[in-house]
Every structure is written in structure tokens, then in C-alpha cells.
Chain A
Amino acid sequence: MNNKLYGNLIFELSQEGRRGYSLPKNRFGKNYEIPTGMRRKADAQLPECDEMTVVRHYTNLSANNFGVDNGFYPLGSCTMKYNPKINEEVAALPQFAGLHPLQPAATVKGAEAVCTLLCRSLCELTGLHAFTLKPFAGAHGELTGLMVIKKYHESRNDDARHLVIVPDSAHGTNPASAAVCGLEIIEVKSLSDGTVDVDALRDLVAQHGPEIAAMMMTNPNTLGLFERQIPTIEKMVHECGGLMYYDGANLNPMLGAARPGDMGFDVMHINLHKTFSTPHGGGGPGAGPVGVREGLEQFFPVVSPYHGNFAVAMRAYAYILSLGREHVKEVGPLATLNANYIKESLKDLYELPIDGLCKHEFVFDGLKDKSTGVTTMDVAKRLLDYGYHAPTIYFPLLFHESLMIEPTENESKETIDGFIAVMRQIAEEAKTNPDLVKSAPHHTPIGRVDDVLAAKHPVVTYKQLQNDTN
């Protein structure tokens, strides 16, 4: 990592007249001039760099990043599993990468087959009837799934159904997706054991029954706990006329254990970039296929023009084939074992608000010893010094110092033991040298950043930066 030598913006490396491209000459025998009236007045002020400058710039930028290939990435709810390299090569095969999406059907049979085979596999793994690959990401899938639900109610002229029940532990995208879909949220409380309060749900259903469009759930929920009351819950919601939506963000631990369709869910999305190992790419492209129970596929909306992020779907199918029927079912149990092992190894030093078996992830409420003043933020930043990515912090909102850890099934016992040792070391440092932890990180290219300054005086382009005095 080298922030000093390579901290420049590409614009700051620009030299007038430098070229990093080569293009064929105009061989049409005639100069077809673009009329002046059509043209922009001034050129876009893009950088002018030679190829080597560009390559060095981005190569060195990459060194200021941390990916799954760099080290352990226990980011809760994000399922940062290994991204097999064969999948990258498969997705780049020219016989697929060169296809225009509007080509005649007879020329894209292989690509269509990949879509069909992937959808069929997803149906089998989830117990649902049909999938659409159109949604580009998990949040897009949520929105698509809710659209299916709303269209279903509309088709029955059941127009009063405008409420979506969401547990208070839900991902932030759930309420946001409902709002974009024109639906309203009602929250159902969690019990002290972290699962949905079925009595509170019964009251909600009694009070709002004919207005309830759906209930959205992750199972296991964002605390990593399996909602064991799911048969009762789905019955309650279905009896009042609502549908059950499964947020597939936490599907990973269910591979080999239980299927959303069998749990009574009608509609779900899958984050292919989580459970099916496609690379997260620094925050996309992902893919969020949506699956439905038989009879609902007629309500799939047009949320994108083609097959979504097709090349992502190819990677996911390659992953399923590599595991095969023999190994897919080991994914959930091994991810669950890893999570429980970490939890049990650290719960004497970190506050475990809800004891018992978790699934693929669990949440600590900060350090057990609060007297040191060391917060979850500090622990997260200190982990960076030791070469680990931080867990998800301050989510879920149920606790003040949430620290959400998800190891995935890929990590070896040695890696996990190493992480446990470091977490224990940090707990020790919090007692003996709290300032060291509070001022972390010390060994990263930059230190803690000033979020307030960024938001108060937004500088979001190079042009603004040139005029910036801060």
C-alpha cells in the first residue's frame, strides 16, 4: 500500500497531448464531419495519460483495497465467501461475452440455456416454482418481489392491501423497497430471544388483516437466529390474505437444511453475490433473481430489459455445478459451525445478548467490559491493523454496539482460530492500553476519516476539488 506515491487522482497525472489509446484510421474515403451545431462547445476535461501511467495508477489503487482474496472478511449479512476463479473465465468466454441481447433466438441458444438451467437449480434449492433473472441486485429483487405481491392483490381487486409487516430487526432495504413499491410498513417487535413476537403479530393481523399485503422476513433473521415459529407465522399471514416474502440475504445457512418454499414463503429474492459466490466487485454488480410459488409467475414485472446481470448469473451456475448435489448441502451446516465456534470462543470477552445456537452469523453487543470506553467502532478499526476486514457494525439496530460476525463455510479452522486470537488480543488491549485501540487503525494507508467534513462541504468531483479550500 502506498498512499504517498500513488495517492494522486488520475486527473493530476494528466499531461496535455498524452495518449493511452490507439484507434484505426478513418478508411471510409471521405470525411464525414459532425456538424458544429451538434457538437458540445468545450471538450470534456478528461485526463490525458499514457497507457503505463493508467495501468500503474489503477494497479496501485488496488493495493489500497482489501478483498476476500486478501484476507478474512467476516462482514455480517454480506456472506463474503471465496469467489472461484474458474467462474471468472467461464463468464468471459467470447461465445457468451460477444452476444448482443437483441440477437435472434437461434443464435443465443447456449445463453438462454444457462438462464433456464440456473433458474431450474434455484427452484430446486428454494422449493419455489419459477424464477426471473431480471433484478440486478438484492434490493432490486426485493422491489421486484413486492411488485409481484402487489400485482397479485390488484389482480384480485383486493386494493385495500397496502401494509407490509417487517420485523424490527429487518435490513434497511426492506422498508425502503416497500416504500418504492408504494406500500407502507408496520413493524412487529422482537422478543427478548431475538425472534418475532408471535403474539404481537397476532394483534397486528387482527387489527389490520384486510390491509395486509405481505410480511417480509429473513430466516434466519439478522441476528442469525432461525425463526422457529415460522409455521405459525406463515399460517397467520396467509389466513388474513397476505403473502409471505423471504429476504434471501441470509439464505446461505439454509442450504442443506431448509427451503423457503417449504417454510411457507410465496416470493423471495436471492443475492447471487452472497450465497452463490459471485464477486462483490466493490459493491456490485450483484444479481437478485426473484422466485415465486406456482401461479405467481404471471405477475413478474419488467424491471430491466434483458436477463439482468447475465454474466453474474453464469458465475452462479458454474458455482452450483462445482459443488454439485453432493456438496451444496454442506454449505449451510459448515457456515453455521464456523459461526457458532467463533461465538463460543469469544462470548466470555464480548457481550452476547442472546445465547444459544446461531446460524451463519451472530451479533455481539460490544465488549463485555464497558468500563474501558472502547467501542465497537474502535474494535472494528483495530481489526484492520491486524489484517482483517471488520465485521458489520452498528447493525442490527436492536443493540447499541452491534458487531455482526459472519465467517462463511470457506474459512479453515486455522484462519478462524487466528481471528479469535486477535479478537481476544483486542479485548486485552482495551483493558491495558485503551488509547491504542481508540486511535486505531495505525497501519493502514490512511487513518480514521472525517465523515462530518465530507457531508458538511460535499466535494464530489475533481472540478469541485480544484476550488476547494478545506
Chain B
Amino acid sequence: MLSRVGVDTLDALYDEVPASIRFRGDYQLPEEMSELEVRQLFEQLGSQNKPLTCFAGAGVYDHYTPSVIPQLLSRSEFLTSYTPYQAEISQGTLHYIFEYQSMMAELTGMDISNASMYDGTTATAEAVMMAVAAGKKQNKVLVSETVDPKTLEVVKTYAHFQGIDIEMIPAKDGVTDLSALNTQLSTLSGVAGVLIQQPNYYGIVEDYEGFAEAIHAKKGLFIMNSVAADLAVLKTPGEWGADIAVGDGQSLGIPLQFGGPYVGYMCCTEKLIRKMPGRIVGKTLDNRGQRAFVLTLQAREQHIRRQKATSNICSNQSLMALFVTIYMSLMGKQGLKEAAELSYAGAHYLCEKLVATGHFTQVYDQPFFNEFVVRYDGDVEALQRRFVENGIFGGVKVAPDQLMFAVTEKRTKEEIDQLISLTL
């Protein structure tokens, strides 16, 4: 091979690299490991972790993963392919993305969906940028105080560099204050959009009656961030009159895996389709007259539009989109509802039992879904430690005296009763 290339040594392949920057040393890395040693090392590192029975949420929920999914996801034809540029040998990917888009549009009650985003926080930041781009000269976005602070932080990062003004809408009793929003809408100029969350950060199912009308009257876009799985039963962003629905799809059975990979979703109304970032798969025909699927509306994207693109996003989170597509196919219309109802029931059972101990009170007198905040009359940190010692991740601390608990269909009555017994 070297002789055909016309060099004598591998080293000579780099003759044009100036000597001053040529790397000649040894990397300070471990010596090569056999497969067995790699496995042993990770098992040893894994033994320093302690997976816990999860009663925490705050955006990441411990739902059950049906066995079918990891089996199908490990198929090499899915796993080791790349972006489906060559439609003729990528119908597998294109086909499931079309199904994914269809399911997400159904779940959110919106017209259309893109092929997925990185995660819920970046999808939300992209939605904020999209609202500003659609709003022409408007560059202010109002964000409810009940939005997850982690989402808010990412939105603020993007907004800072885009020169977007973020103003907070105050909350009252744990829910977005509509009258405050109305005042803001009538006094502030340049409002391109409004971002709210459902269920909100505290697990509360807010009443967004009147929001769409108020926002649309000022020509702003209504952005709703939701936990995907909850939309199987909750009134949808579409029903609330949202223009853009975004959030994380992790709740559709994706393992916790220390924060990622998850999958962001973004859905919107039909008229916003050309403003939407990310990949979109559409139906077409091939030259044999067969139905086929293909990446479409690419004129919005970076590889064509470069600096004028709707976003710099390139890849989506394809394999995780496949994950949730298979999840929704298996669970179907009925199973998703049942899982949501079980989560709702478990959370309300836990809340009742906690309050009954006399040590906890609900912080907000509001309807909640599968997550809620309680005030504890003892030492919160000591209680959390006791939970961990007993193998339980007992909620996320949201204030010095407040814990936020989440329950999914995975939590049994016995596990909940054990948690209660640790509080007594």
C-alpha cells in the first residue's frame, strides 16, 4: 500500500506537518486493555455507584422500559447507520422518523413534528429562538417562573448570545399569574413569545385558559413545554392553543442513565413548518411509483443555508427517537394512558400518606399529576440521608424545608410504604 502511495513509511504521510507541531511523544494514557479488562474496569467503577429506588423527577422520570426496546435498538442496521442522506438504503430510519413525527403530533395535539432534538432544554431554547425569528423585529420572550430552572438556565444561555430579552412572569400559589401576564403583554413592547410549562416544575397541572387568546392578541407565539408521557391523558398543548410544543421525551421509557442520552421533541402548527429547526421527514414517491420517505424541507438547514439557517442543529437524536417510537407502538393508545393513570395514583397515594404522618404539608393547594412538593417539619437533609441509606432517592430538595417527590408506574405500594415508614 505504501508503495502505491509513493512513500516509504507511515511517518512520511505527515511530511507536510511542520516539525514544531508534530506530536512525537507518547500519550499519557493507560496501556491497551483486553475486552475482559475493559469490562472489569467499568464493573469496578460501577460498583462505586448506587442506583436507588427513584422517587425523584424534576424533569427526569423513572418509567419502565419494555424488553423489546433495547433488543430492537441494538440492531446494527439502526445503530451503526448515519443520517439518512441516501434514501434508497435508509428507508428504515426515514420510515421510523415519519412514525415518530406522527406519534408526537398526536401526543401533543399539534399539526406537525420535526425528527427530534437533543433534549428538552435545548428544544425549548430552540423554540424561543424560533418565536423570535418568526416575530421579525420582536426580541422579548416572557417565561413563567414555574418553568424548570434547569430549562430556564439553558434558555438564558442561548438568549444571551442571540440578544433575546427574557422576562419572567411571576407565579402566585405555584401557578403562572395570568393577570400579571396580561399586564406585561399590555405594557411591554416587542414580545415575540411566551413560554410556560405543563405540568409545571412543581408537578402542578396549571389552568392555561385565556393564555392563548391573550398572547395571540399581541401577535406572540405560545410555547408550551410538557413532559411527553403525561400528554397521553392531559389536555394537550394543541387544545390549550399553543403554537409550539416542546419538551423531553425521556418519560417515554428511556432509562435515567445519569442524564443522557434522552430526546427532545418539537411540534408546531402547520403554518410554522418552514420556521422549524431540525430535520423533517416527508412522504414522497420513488421512480418506481412506490411510497417512500425522504428528508425534506432541507432549504431551512445549515448545510444549504449556512449562516441563514433556522438553527445550527445538524443531527437529531435519531436512535432515541426510535426508542420512543417503539415505546409508543407497544404501549399504544391504551397503555400510555394506563401508565399515566398508575403514576397519578401512586403519587396521590404517596402524598396522602406523607401528609397523614403529620410531618408533611402540601406546599401548594393545586392539582398535581405525578409529582408534588411538600414541606417537612424536620431536618430535610437528615431525612434524605436516611432514604439513601435505605436505597431510596427520596425526592429533590427545592427549598431548605421542601422536598419534591415523583412517582411512576414502576413504584410499588410496598416501596411507597417503605418510604413512609422511614419518615416516622
Contact = CB atoms under 8 A, between A and B. Distances in A.
Interface in B1-35: 1-2, 4-7, 10-11, 13-18, 20-23, 26-33, 35
Contact of A460 (B101, B309, B340): B101
B49 A107 contact: yes
Contacts of A64: 89-92, 95
A464 B270 CA distance: 11
A100 interface: yes
Interface in B269-309: 273, 279-288, 290-292, 294, 296-299, 301-309
B346 A28 contact: yes
Interface stretch (B51-59, B177-185, B214-222): B51-59
B60 interface: yes
A446 B88 contact: yes
- Lowest 3 A-B CB distances belong to which pairs? A324-B32, A306-B259, A95-B46
A20 B286 contact: no
B92 A176 contact: no
A46 B103 contact: yes
A113 B45 contact: yes
A306 B153 CA distance: 12
Contacts of A451: 284, 294, 296
Interface string A89-119: 1101111111111111011111101100000
A379 to B, nearest CB: 12
A462 B106 CA distance: 9
Interface residues of B, number: 188
Interface stretch (B72-80, B167-175, B356-364, B372-380): B72-80
Given A111-B258, A139-B315, A180-B158, 12 more contacts: A9-B95, A38-B367, A46-B332, A93-B46, A97-B256, A107-B393, A124-B27, A136-B317, A137-B313, A318-B38, A324-B32, A327-B32
Contacts of A283: 82-84, 93, 115, 279, 315-316, 318
B49 A108 contact: yes
B131 interface: no
A435 interface: no
B5 A337 contact: yes
A384 B335 contact: no
A5 B135 CA distance: 46
Nearest to A164: B307
Contacts of B419: none
B260 A455 contact: no
Contacts of B212: none
A395 interface: yes
B255 A230 contact: no
A448 B64 CA distance: 40
A30 interface: yes
B89 A66 contact: yes
Contacts of B75: 58-59, 62
A45 B106 contact: yes
Nearest to B61: A100
A280 B106 contact: no
A181 interface: yes
14 contacts: A23-B409, A28-B413, A54-B326, A66-B90, A136-B260, A137-B315, A176-B312, A184-B307, A282-B84, A283-B82, A305-B119, A310-B259, A324-B31, A461-B105
Contacts of B307: 175-176, 178-179, 184-185
B304 A172 contact: yes
B302 A40 contact: no
A304 B122 contact: yes
A43 B103 CA distance: 12
B233 interface: yes
A441 B50 CA distance: 52
Nearest to A325: B29
B259 A305 contact: yes
Interface string A1-25: 0010001011100100011110110
Contacts of A29: 413
Interface in B305-364: 305-309, 311-320, 322, 325-326, 328-342, 344-346, 348-349
B325 to A, nearest CB: 8
Nearest to A79: B82
Interface stretch (A196-204, A340-348, A425-433): A340-348
Interface string A29-63: 11110110011110111111101001101110111
Interface residues of A, number: 187
Contact of B290 (A3, A286, A305, A389): A3
Interface string B136-165: 000000000000001101100110011100
Contacts of A172: 301-306, 309, 314
A154 to B, nearest CB: 9
B162 A180 contact: yes
B20 A83 contact: no
A298 to B, nearest CB: 15
B261 A311 contact: yes
Contacts of A279: 79-80, 319
A80 to B, nearest CB: 6
B236 interface: yes
Contacts of B121: 304-305
A380 interface: yes
B82 A63 contact: no
Nearest to A443: B88
B157 A61 contact: no
A182 B112 contact: no
Nearest to B281: A460
Given A65-B91, A136-B260, A20 B14 contact: no
B396 interface: yes
Nearest to B156: A302
Contacts of A352: none
Contact of B367 (A24, A35, A389): A35
Interface in A296-349: 301-312, 314, 318, 320-329, 333-334, 336-338, 340-341, 344-345
A323 to B, nearest CB: 6
Contact of B412 (A24, A80, A449, A454): A24
Greatest chain A CB density within 10 A among B32, B304, B388 is at: B32
B248 to A, nearest CB: 10
Contacts of B239: 40-41
A231 interface: yes
Nearest to B333: A46
B379 to A, nearest CB: 15
Contact of A337 (B13, B29, B64, B314): B13
A415 interface: no
B99 A9 contact: yes
A256 interface: yes
A68 interface: yes
Contacts of B76: 67-70
Given A44-B336, A100-B52, A7 B290 contact: yes
A156 interface: no
A102 B52 CA distance: 11
